[in-house]
Amino acid sequence: MFGSIYTGMSGMAAFSAGLDVISNNVANLNTPGYKGNDLLFQDLFYGFQLSSEFNNNIASMQIGKGVQANTTTVVYSQGDLRATGVDTDVAIDGRGFFLLQDGDKQYFTRSGQFVFDQDGYLVARGTDFRVAAFDESENLSNVNLTGLRTSAPTATSKISFTNNLSTGTTRHKLDNVIVIDEAGNEHRLTFNFVNNSAETPRSWLIEIENESGEKVGDTGKISFQGNGSPEEGHNTFTFSFTPTGANPIEIELDFGKPGSFTGVTSFSGGTNSDMAVAERDGKGSGSITGIEFDREGQFIIKYSNGDEYKGGKLAIATFPDLQALQQVGSSLYITTEDNRAQLSTATNDGLGEIATKSIELSNVELTQQFTDLIIVQRGYQASSQVLTVSNEMMQQLMEVVGKK
């Protein structure tokens, strides 16, 4: 009877630990990246009574001494993905963990709620741990915005034209053609095309003016073949433009490939010409308009001037033994030397891909937790009943002994 009391107590202690595990799972139902835990129960040692009538090595009676909460296992099943719309939120649709660095220390997490700190580093929300990524040289580094908050301007170096420059008109004018200087400032030039067929058949003189109406550079000349396509050696013209307070820039005017009709043509179109600017390079300085990660985990910055920067790819860690990972709170894990992380990137080595602007929800199944909760509650009640019955039996025994 004394043994049954201790056995019942072991059951109550084990089921109490089970309640702790379940309550922690339920409490973290809405914790991004949380992985649920299961408690494993294990029976304790047994007492053996050997038979005297048969082989003394065979036990005729085996009585267990209760149960213990032996260990917990982490359930690493995939949690549901939920779109958040936050540029720096990412989730792993597959196996693996994000790598975080705190000096020489490494942490791992499934929670991809990242933000940029005051120094421009991408860190795990609520911590100073920096998110690790592989740079273009495949070296491990950190994602950082330093030097990337603006996109440098590029000066205009080429302007391409299209449509027809009619041989039946004497002059064609293009106003407000925008060019960009090295500082990213815009300037509006005027291009005057003067028919020069009287001197050279199907040729045109080019006169350029700045915003003040002053002449820019030398007068240029282009010419066309008899079929109306640009002539070899006379299909481009380069001039120098010196904006006020800026360095001079060289700009090439491109009217199309010789013999081709994809650029500018010079057919008879009466007195109407519709030649226009087709493309112009050069961009002003740009500010960040968006930050995101693609399915491979590559860091991408988009700028207001149309530029795009592509940085490193997020490092994804896997482990030989997931159950050897240690949970340290804040959805973080640490590992040991014997279970060292193996690093790669998303879409490689069967690691799945990155879900952008999303987070992974907890994988806790509430229905399963409620079911386990009922079992734990009944087990605890049953174990406590064993103590009650044992106590009553002992009391009855003491009463009998007392009467003697």
Indicate if the pLDDT at residue 245 is higher than 90: no
Intervals of CATH 2.60.98.20 along the chain? 158-280
pLDDT at 180 over 90: yes
CA distances from 223 to 14, 166, 190, 354, 403 (A): 95, 12, 20, 55, 133
Mean pLDDT of 329-333: 93
Query: Is residue 72 scored above 90 in pLDDT?
Result: no
Question: pLDDT class for 235, splitting at 50, 70, 90?
Answer: very high
Q: How many CA atoms lie within 13 A of 120 on its CB side?
A: 7
Asked if residue 24 has pLDDT above 60, the reply is yes
- Which pLDDT score is estimated for 367? 93
pLDDT band at 51 (very low <50, low <70, confident <90, very high): low
pLDDT at 306 over 80: yes
Instruction: Produce one character per residue of 318-350: b if its CB has 16 or more CB atoms within 10 Å, e if not.
Output: bbeebeebeeeeebbbebeeeeebeebbbbeee
Q: What is the mean pLDDT of residues 221-242?
A: 95
Q: Check residue 283 and give its pLDDT.
A: 93
Question: What tens digit of pLDDT does each residue of 248-297 get?
Answer: 999 999 999 999 999 999 998 788 899 999 999 999 999 999 999 999 99
pLDDT of 391 over the 80 cut? no
pLDDT of 50:
55
Does 52 have pLDDT greater than 60? no
d(CA 13, CA 197) in angstroms, rounded, equals: 104
Topology of the domain covering 158-280: Tick-borne Encephalitis virus Glycoprotein; domain 1 (2.60.98)
Q: Identify which has the larger pLDDT, 391 or 319.
A: 319
What is the model's pTM? 0.76
Place of tokens 């049954």: 4
Q: Which residues of 197-231 are buried (b: 16+ CB within 10 A; e: fewer)?
A: eeeeebbbbbbbbbeeeeebbeebebbbbeebbbb
Tell me the pLDDT tens digit for each residue of 2-14.
Answer: 667 778 788 888 8
